[in-house]
Chain A
Amino acid sequence: MATDSTTDEVATWQVITGSARGAAHRVSGLPNQDAVASQDGSGGIVVAIADGHGHIRHFRSADGAALAVDVACRVASQAAAGLAADATGDEEAERAGQELARAVVADWRAAVADQLEVRPYTVEEQFILDRSADTPVVPYGSTLLVAVIAARWLVCAQIGDGDMLAVRPDGSSFSPVAGDDKLDGRRTTSLCQPDALASFRTGAHDLSQMPLAALLLATDGYGNAQADEPWQPSVGRDLAELAACHDRHWFGQEVPGWVRRCASSEGSGDDATIALLLPGDARDAEEGG
Chain B
Amino acid sequence: MTSPDPRWLRVPVPGNAGTATEGAGMAQATPYPRMPGGGISRRPLHFIILADCSGGMKGEKIQALNFAIADMLPHLAAWERDQEQAQVFIRAIAFATEPRWHIPDPEPVAQLGWKPLQPVPKGLTNMGPAFALAAQALAPGRIERRALRPAMLLITDGLATDPPGGFEAGLSALMAQPAGKLALRLAIAIGRDAQSAALDRFIGDPGVPVLVADSSEDIADRLVAASLAVSRMSEAGADRGAVARRLLGAPGDLPPNIFDQDTIV
Q: Which residues of A contact B (CB under 8 A)?
A: 22-28, 30, 53-58, 131-132, 138, 141, 182-190, 192-193, 199, 223-231, 234-239, 242, 245-246, 254, 257-258, 261-262, 264-270, 289
Q: Does B111 contact A (CB under 8 A)?
A: no
Chain A residues contacting B32 (CB-CB under 8 Å) are 261
Closest chain A residue to B255 by CB distance?
A131
- Taking a contact as CB atoms under 8 Å apart, the answer to whether A56 and B265 are in contact is no
Contact of A30 among B38, B85, B182, B236 (CB under 8 A): B236
- Taking a contact as CB atoms under 8 Å apart, the answer to whether A187 and B84 are in contact is no
- Taking a contact as CB atoms under 8 Å apart, the answer to whether B38 and A228 are in contact is yes
Counted as pairs of residues, one from A and one from B, with CB atoms less than 8 Å apart, the total is: 153
Give the distance to chain A from B122, nearest Cβ to Cβ, in Å: 40
Closest chain A residue to B178 by CB distance?
A184
Q: Does B36 contact A (CB under 8 A)?
A: yes
User: In whole angstroms, how far apart are the Cα atoms of A148 and B238 in the complex?
Assistant: 36
Chain A residues contacting B179 (CB-CB under 8 Å) are 184
Q: Does B145 contact A (CB under 8 A)?
A: yes
What is the size, in residues, of chain B's interface with A at 8 Å between Cβ atoms? 41
User: In whole angstroms, how far apart are the Cα atoms of A193 and B265 in the complex?
Assistant: 8
Q: Which residues of B contact A (CB under 8 A)?
A: 1, 13, 15-16, 32-43, 83-86, 144-149, 178-179, 182, 235-239, 255, 259, 261-265
Chain B residues contacting A184 (CB-CB under 8 Å) are 145, 178-179, 182
- Taking a contact as CB atoms under 8 Å apart, the answer to whether B16 and A187 are in contact is no
- Taking a contact as CB atoms under 8 Å apart, the answer to whether B40 and A27 are in contact is no
What are 16 of the A-B contact pairs (CB < 8 Å)?
A53-B263, A56-B238, A186-B182, A187-B264, A187-B265, A189-B264, A189-B265, A193-B264, A225-B41, A225-B43, A226-B40, A234-B37, A265-B84, A265-B85, A269-B83, A270-B236
Across the A-B interface, the 5 shortest Cβ-Cβ residue pairs: A269-B85, A238-B36, A23-B84, A228-B38, A265-B84
Q: If the complex has contacts A22-B236, A28-B235, A30-B237, are A186 and B35 also in contact, measured as CB distance less than 8 A?
A: no
Q: If the complex has contacts A184-B182, A266-B13, are A239 and B149 also in contact, measured as CB distance less than 8 A?
A: no
User: In whole angstroms, how far apart are the Cα atoms of A230 and B37 in the complex?
Assistant: 10
- Taking a contact as CB atoms under 8 Å apart, the answer to whether A182 and B40 are in contact is no
- Taking a contact as CB atoms under 8 Å apart, the answer to whether A188 and B178 are in contact is no
Closest chain A residue to B15 by CB distance?
A265
- Taking a contact as CB atoms under 8 Å apart, the answer to whether B43 and A231 are in contact is no
User: In whole angstroms, how far apart are the Cα atoms of A183 and B235 in the complex?
Assistant: 19
User: In whole angstroms, how far apart are the Cα atoms of A54 and B240 in the complex?
Assistant: 13
Chain B residues contacting A23 (CB-CB under 8 Å) are 84-85
